[in-house]
């Protein structure tokens, strides 16, 4: 049997105000933490409502090299010029993100979605781009020396002026827009293989 407790309007308003204060306090206490991939140390703490907003905020005032951003949805974020060297972006959604001039050297971008992303002038030296979706990406003037592009999809990517020296192109779908891309003689066989051409001796 339930009991009904009667309270005055004044008491009701006080209780209501206390509940609202607790809700506001609870909202304020919710924080997003961006951590270092190796140490687990907190690099940035934010009260933004989404992880995407928190990363964009951190990009303007923190060193994000080595951050753990696995599986993060950063689609359409402005990260131009950001230092993300050594960051773990495994499976992250970076579709349409502005990464012009960003430092992604030695970053793990395995299986990430970089379709339509602006990576012009970006440093991707030694980055792991294995299985990455780079369809329609702007890689103009990017440094991809020693990068792992095996199984990457580069259909319609702009590869003008890209440095592919020492890059692993095995199994890549490599239909870049024309330009002056240079590769070494030792890469020719892998380059043709990526284009689906079998070179016979």
Q: Where are the domains of the chain?
A: 65-201
- Which of the listed ranges 9-13, 44-48, 119-123, 174-178 does the model predict with the highest average pLDDT? 119-123
Distance from C-alpha of 143 to C-alpha of 164, rounded to nearest angstrom: 7
Beta-strand runs (E) in 16-137 = 32-35, 42-46
Distance from C-alpha of 87 to C-alpha of 106, rounded to nearest angstrom: 8
Q: Fold for 65-201, please state it.
A: Pectate Lyase C-like (2.160.20)
CB count within 10 Å of CB 87 equals: 27
For residue 23, pLDDT beyond 80? no
For residue 31, pLDDT beyond 60? yes
Neighbouring residues of 190: CB distance < 8 A, sequence distance ≥ 6: 168, 169, 170
Helix, strand, or coil here: 85?
coil
Distance from C-alpha of 147 to C-alpha of 160, rounded to nearest angstrom: 17
CB count within 10 Å of CB 172 equals: 25
pLDDT in tens, 95-125: 999 999 999 999 999 999 999 999 999 999 9
**% of residues, the chain, pLDDT over 90:** 57
Supply the pLDDT for residue 29. Answer: 59
- pLDDT-derived band at 65 (thresholds 50, 70, 90) equals very high
For residue 53, pLDDT beyond 60? yes
For residue 28, pLDDT beyond 70? no
DSSP, res 177:
B
Supply the pLDDT for residue 176. Answer: 53
Q: Partners of 113 in the beta sheet?
A: 93, 133
Supply the pLDDT for residue 2. Answer: 62
Supply the pLDDT for residue 41. Answer: 93
Distance from C-alpha of 96 to C-alpha of 102, rounded to nearest angstrom: 14
* Residue that the structure tokens 């907190």 belong to: 42
């Amino acid at each position: 049997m339930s009991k009904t407790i009667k309270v005055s309007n004044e008491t009701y308003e006080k209780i209501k105000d206390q509940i609202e204060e607790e809700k506001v306090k609870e909202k304020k206490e919710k924080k997003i933490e961006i951590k270092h991939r190796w140490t687990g140390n907190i690099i940035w703490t934010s009260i933004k409502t989404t992880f995407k907003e928190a990363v964009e905020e951190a990009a303007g005032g923190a060193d994000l090299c080595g951050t753990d951003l696995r599986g993060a949805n950063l689609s359409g974020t402005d990260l131009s010029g950001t230092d993300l060297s050594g960051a773990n972006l495994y499976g992250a959604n970076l579709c349409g993100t502005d990464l012009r001039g960003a430092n992604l050297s030695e970053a793990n971008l395995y299986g990430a979605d970089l379709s339509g992303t602006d990576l012009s002038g970006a440093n991707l030296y030694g980055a792991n781009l294995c299985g990455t979706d780079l369809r329609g990406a702007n890689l103009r003037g990017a440094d991809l020396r020693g990068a792992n592009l095996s199984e990457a999809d580069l259909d319609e990517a702009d590869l003008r002026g890209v440095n592919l020296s020492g890059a692993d192109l095995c199994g890549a779908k490599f239909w870049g827009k024309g330009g002056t891309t240079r590769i070494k003689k030792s890469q020719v066989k892998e380059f043709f293989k990526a284009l689906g051409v079998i070179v016979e001796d």
